[in-house]
Structure 1
Amino acid sequence: MTVISVIVGSTREGRFSEKPARWILQHLQKRDGVDARLLDLRDFPMPFFDQPMTPAMPGRPAFENEIVQKWTAAIAQSDGFIFVTPEYNYGPAAVLKNAIDWVYPEWNRKAAGFVSYGSAGGTRSVQQLRETAIEIQLAPVRSSVHIPVATLWAHYQGGDVEAGLAELEVPAMALIDDLLWWSAALKTARASAS
């Protein structure tokens, strides 16, 4: 069983991110051999990272914060990730970047994909997250889903968000196909290296 976690990358009141997160999660749940999980950052209210040692420090003790421990365990159990990210001022939400920064070895050598929204479909946010992913030894896949602004506005104006998301089925399937292929390959490689 391949565990894929969909990470809801916004905690704002009235947020849009839940809708595309649940939409991509439903597509993952239709795949054989996939245990699809939703990791909502509202369920992991971590403080801003302020520790004297980074998560990448070899031999450092586990962080004492219980929420950080739960978050780290959820990341460790996952074989791949889909980050559902807004774009705020050309980048991802601070809460998402902070959640990424609390963890290091548990991210390593796993696949990551992106569903984004915001100005320019959230592409600039994804570009920044791809660079972060590489630094924490995630393998970002090429395919991604960029939600048009019209679908985002439908959320705020009481429109038909589901219809807008349905128009993105082709890139969603490409993202899932790529993510599952890379997740399986990397899971096999991690197992053979241990």
Structure 2
Amino acid sequence: MAVIVGSIRNDRFCPTPANWIADQARRHGGLDVEYIDLLKARLPEVLAGDDEQAPLPAPVQTLGARLAAADAFIVVTPVYNRGYPASLKTAVDWYLEEWSAKPVGFVSYGGVGGGLHAVEQLRQVFTEVHATTIRNTISFSNFWEKFDDRGEPVDGDAAHAAAKRFLDQLIWWGDALREARTRRPYQT
């Protein structure tokens, strides 16, 4: 399970919900959780283009190996101007097979809409790289009110119950798609 921190802005809030959902995934049991911070990945913003002979930049190769090893993804995203961060689009666009036939779940945050505008756009983008997005989403509206100083949701019981349902669904899809890829490799 790879948890992807989607924002690379200064003074970002994204690590707070990312750390929380990663901790929930570890506590869920039976999961190896890979924490991927796109700020630390340092992907080039300009993609390689059509020159398939050119070697991929080292950061792209490194992140690609980490994504390829995952059976499922949790993308943590804010909403910026009714959309998702450019860093997430860059991370999606550098890869194809690494996302293909794997499930993606979303944890979002924002103002009144809780980041759901970003999630709905990301569903379309991930469909194009042959990923399967799960229905359940965890979203935090007015996020600045939703977490305490320790990075825990103030409504812990409800948040933990939502995380369990979310993870159960993501794990089901992860298991089903891994089994299917094992039986018959997915063709993009």
TM-score, length of structure 1 as denominator length: 0.87
Q: How does 1:85-124 map to 2 (within 5 A)?
A: 85-119=77-111, 120-124=113-117
Report the secondary structure of 1:162's partner residue: coil
User: Any unmatched runs of 5+ in structure 2?
Assistant: none
Whole-angstrom distance in 2 between the partners of 1:159 and 1:33: 29
Whether the 8 Å CA contact 1:117–1:152 is kept in 2: the answer is no
Residue 180 of structure 1 aligns with which residue? 171
Which whole-Å deviations, capped at 9, do the CAs of 1:23-45 have from their partners, x for residues lacking one? 11111112332111100011111
2:82 maps to amino acid: Y
- Structure 2 residue 35 is matched with structure 1 residue 38: yes
Equivalent in the alignment of 2:45: 48
1:139 equivalent among 132, 135, 153:
132
Q: State the partner residue of 2:180.
A: 189
2:5 to 3, 8, 13: 8
Matched, 1:18 2:15: yes
Distance 2:60 2:39 in 1: 13
Percent of aligned pairs sharing the same letter:
35
Could you report, residue by residue, the CA deviation over 1:11-59 in whole angstroms, capped at 9, with x for unpaired residues? 11221110111111111112332111100011111111332228xxxxx
> SS at the partner of 2:152?
helix
The answer to whether the 8 Å contact 1:154/1:160 transfers is no
Q: Which moved more, 1:160-169 or 1:123-132?
A: 160-169
Q: 1:45 to 1:10 in 2, by over 3 A?
A: same
Tell me, which stretches of 5 or more residues in structure 1 are unaligned? 55-59
Relative to structure 1, is the Cα distance of residues 163 and 108 closer, same or farther in structure 2, using a 3 angstrom cutoff? Answer: closer
The equivalent residue for 2:152 is 162
> 1:57 corresponds to which residue?
none
